[in-house]
Structure 1
Amino acid sequence: MGRIKKKRASRDARRQSGARPLAPPPFPEGEIERVMRLWDRAIDSGLMADGAEVKYHLGPDGTVLSAAVGRSGQVLANGERLIPSVADRLRAEMPLLAGMVTFYENNQLAGRGLEGAPEDGVLPLPDPAGPGPMPLLDEKALADAQAATAVLVRQGKVSEPVGAMVIPAQRGGVLFAVGGRDGELYVNGRALTRSWADELSTKVPELSSDVDRLQAMRAEWLDGPPEDRTLALAGACTDRNCLTPH
């Protein structure tokens, strides 16, 4: 598999379309080899099928992001399940490819796999864009969410609402998310179960993708033993309009 995929990545990098830098960076042979070993390991562990399609994206700084769909239908990135913590780490490790990490993360949430992924190769960098206008904070919705969270504090489920993730909506409404002492993730005063997530998405539809991301975080947390998640959400929001920490 490694030889076949490496040849394809090299070929597609040469024939890529779109804008190109005046002096293309050297092909990252060593990094491609490292990533190929990660995919071989994913196959050996049963995470993905041998011969599965793998997309390669090469950053101008020599970084490599590759993506495939695993046996379970989950998106894999560089041989790992694209869970929120892995996505955040990859964005930090390869900032020039952070947009592609988010693309595959959003595809996974929507169940689209590799659909719509650009051609393999070095991608032109998008024009830098500043943050959008900060939505006016719905003070009543925030006060209601804080009051509901204060009940969790009195019950001993949440240490304090420090490190909360606060996401306002343009048309009113807010998500106020905190990590609990028991490893649970609470949003607007309730554990983020499927039914509560559906209700929140109905109440604040423009934040439904944020609800999906929080649900993915919760699923990852619940896969491990319970631990105090008081500060787990601090800095976890990648939306430039997100008010966190709060």
Structure 2
Amino acid sequence: MTAIALGRRRRTTLLGAICALVVAGTGVLAGCSDDPDAGTNGVGKLPAATIQSKTRAAAAAAESVHLSGDVVTNGHTYKLDMRLKSEGATGSVTSDGLAFGLLRIGEQLYLKAGSGFWNHADGDTGKASASKLDGKYVKVPQRDPAYKKFSGFTDMDVLLGGLLTLHGSLATDGHHEQSGTRTIRITGDKGSGGTLDVSLQGKPYPLRLERAGGAGTISFSSWGEDFALNEPKKTETVDYGKQLPTS
């Protein structure tokens, strides 16, 4: 055997050993297999409708999630950065250049914002009260119309149920990757009805959604990772004193 042939044989043997080791561990090294679904959870081989069903089921069964990105609805763009679970949620929402924080613990909802938010909400007529509310947690009464609007951003079931929907005829659109995780992409009406990247590693959680009609892009992460929900201190909490604005 020539030195060149011997070298090739050694490289082939080494590559095979590396591939075997990686497959036995956490995944498949690119180039080790011609099968893009080798070492995955197997959903990439399923029809698009079945993949969507499985990813919705996985999301519904999850204890928690971190959701971030843009949602366009009723002519408004909302930038979300929320951590959600059944007991509540915490995070921030930005709309029309104004940011506010949301904290829900059980049924109690708190809104936290700067004076600019409150001035805008009051039509620039309540600057004195706005300064008192600046940076404070404001309790939102459950009977207040604002409660339903703002609490929707903190309800994991409501958000996921409304977002994880593709419109039109479903199809798969190849294998991709999101933040280092291998995915299978499914589309509605060749993408015009939205696209969804589903994890091929572990449970088939949704990882990235492009909504139909340019209605925003959402990333999902930290599935099942718990986080703390702490009541704000009394010194950090105030009552608004009247019905909260819904604008």
TM-score range, shorter chain: under 0.3
With normalisation by structure 2, the TM-score equals 0.25
Larger Rg: 2
Q: Which has the higher contact order (CA 8 A, sep 6+)?
A: 2
Greater strand proportion: 2
Which one has the bigger helix percentage?
1
TM (norm. structure 1) is 0.25
